[in-house]
Chain A
Amino acid sequence: GAGVSQSPRYKVAKRGQDVALRCDPISGHVSLFWYQQALGQGPEFLTYFQNEAQLDKSGLPSDRFFAERPEGSVSTLKIQRTQQEDSAVYLCASSLDRRSSYEQYFGPGTRLTVT
């Protein structure tokens, strides 16, 4: 079946531009996570949704980062006024349930380059 998909796969933005990154989770998955992976590092948690509720946004690095999942399926991560330090791969993962016993399935990521 279809896995987690993300679009665009690559995004180049000029510093100061706003960007929107989309995640389509696996159908029926309740939990959705966003992670940021800088070059040479492991993924770092940004935010978590259960259905449409954003239950944890402790990892968002600044108020320029905003995520939503209005209907409990597709999610969008928005970055306003992009800075060079925002350059990274943004990973989305979904899980059938919030409990850690349920595997998180990762998408291919969106590679954001801010010039």
Chain B
Amino acid sequence: AQSVSQHNHHVILSEAASLELGCNYSYGGTVNLFWYVQYPGQHLQLLLKYFSGDPLVKGIKGFEAEFIKSKFSFNLRKPSVQWSDTAEYFCAVTNTGTASKLTFGTGTRLQVTL
């Protein structure tokens, strides 16, 4: 069975600081990788996704993630965070087989202070 680990449970940063959130997955086959974000009081929404090709993926709002197959990792990065990035971030994986059910990590709560 596949699993996803997010080691940072709660991260506090000042505005303009750089962000890197860790995500490691466990699965023996080919995977698709996602980062979802949940802003306070809002739905889960897709931030970015990786299926194939360039392992550096760019998403919305200046976020990017790098897929490192040898490390089973898909870390999320942003060079300079804003107060509005305060949210919960979830890494998720599906296999490339049939039904695309998502396996999520436990999430990282990001708090950006002014």
Contacts and interface: CB of A to CB of B under 8 A. Distances in A.
Interface of A: 3-4, 31, 33, 35, 40-45, 48, 50, 55-56, 59, 91, 93, 95, 98-104, 106-109
A107 B99 contact: no
Nearest to B52: A101
A101 B104 contact: no
Contacts of A91: 44
Contacts, number: 64
Q: Sorted from nearest, which 8 A-B pairs have the closest CB atoms?
A: A42-B104, A100-B100, A106-B44, A100-B94, A45-B101, A100-B32, A106-B43, A42-B106
Interface in B32-62: 32, 36, 42-46, 49, 51
Contacts of A99: 100
Nearest to B42: A108
Interface residues of B, number: 26
Given A43-B104, A59-B101, 16 more contacts: A31-B100, A33-B102, A40-B106, A42-B92, A42-B105, A42-B107, A55-B99, A56-B101, A93-B44, A98-B99, A100-B95, A103-B49, A104-B100, A104-B102, A107-B43, A108-B42
Contacts of A42: 4, 6, 90, 92, 104-107
Contacts of B103: 45
Interface of B: 4, 6, 32, 36, 42-46, 49, 51, 90, 92, 94-96, 98-107
